[in-house]
Structure 1
Amino acid sequence: MKHLASRTLLLAALAVSGTFAVQAAYADAAAAVAAPTDAELAVSVKQALDADQELKALDLKVSSSKAEVTIEGPMTDDQQMFKAGQIAEKVPGVKFVINKMEQKS
């Protein structure tokens, strides 16, 4: 009887660990499929920035490397820099925003 109980517990443990392994594999595959490329991420951020008329007029340049987005271009006040950073951070896939906007002279 003890032997049967031990075997049952072992089989249950193996079944549970197999379920977790399958779920982890599917989660990794889904993350890989869902993650945009850097080029796609830069385009998405640029579109999000251009949806704001004030920022669109600045014609900001956007690039991305390893999901870190860089925004470059002129600004007339600090609020534009703040707004651009907030918009970029909300784009799915962006891990970090480097804002290199500079004051227009």
Structure 2
Amino acid sequence: MKSFTTRAVFLMALLSPALLTSPLVHAADQVAAAQVSDAELAGKVKAALDSDADLKKLNLKVTSKQGEVTITGTMTDDQQMYNAGVIAEKVSGVKYVINNMTMAQ
């Protein structure tokens, strides 16, 4: 019995590195990294937009998924929408900007 337990422990020790390098574990790590990156990118874009006094007062919402950034909120003139898009495009990591800002009524 003792030799069986020792073999089982030894076998598990050998398999542990294989389990850690399995594609499923890496896929989960990549998803977690993408989520962090998306949140960080959205934060960077939000900070860039808020550095513009005219846009900061609009309190725009920014989301990101795999480098695609979406801006939502209301604007008082078309120039604000244009400026938000230009600023967002300049942030490192942004691949595409979807500007869903709408005119305030």
TM over 0.5: yes
What per-residue deviation string (whole Å, max 9, x for no partner) do you get for residues 67-87 of structure 1? 000000000111000000000
What per-residue deviation string (whole Å, max 9, x for no partner) do you get for residues 38-91 of structure 1? 000000000000000000000000000110000000001110000000000000
Q: Counterpart of 1:53? A: 53
Q: Counterpart of 1:8? A: none
Q: Counterpart of 1:99? A: 99
Percent identity (aligned)? 63
Structure 1 residues without counterparts, runs of 5 or longer: 1-35
Q: CA RMSD in A?
A: 1.4
Q: Counterpart of 2:74? A: 74
- Structure 1 residue ranges, 4+ long, deviating more than 6 angstroms after superposition: none
Q: Counterpart of 2:64? A: 64
Q: Counterpart of 2:3? A: none
Which TM-score applies when normalising by structure 2?
A: 0.66
Count of residue pairs the alignment pairs up:
71
Structure 2 residues without counterparts, runs of 5 or longer: 1-35
Q: Tell me how far apart the structure 2 counterparts of residues 49 and 66 of structure 1 sit (CA, whole Å).
A: 19
SS in 1 for 2:71: strand
Instruction: Trace 1:11-90 onto structure 2 (pairs within 5 A).
Output: 37-90=37-90
Q: Tell me how far apart the structure 2 counterparts of residues 67 and 80 of structure 1 sit (CA, whole Å).
A: 22
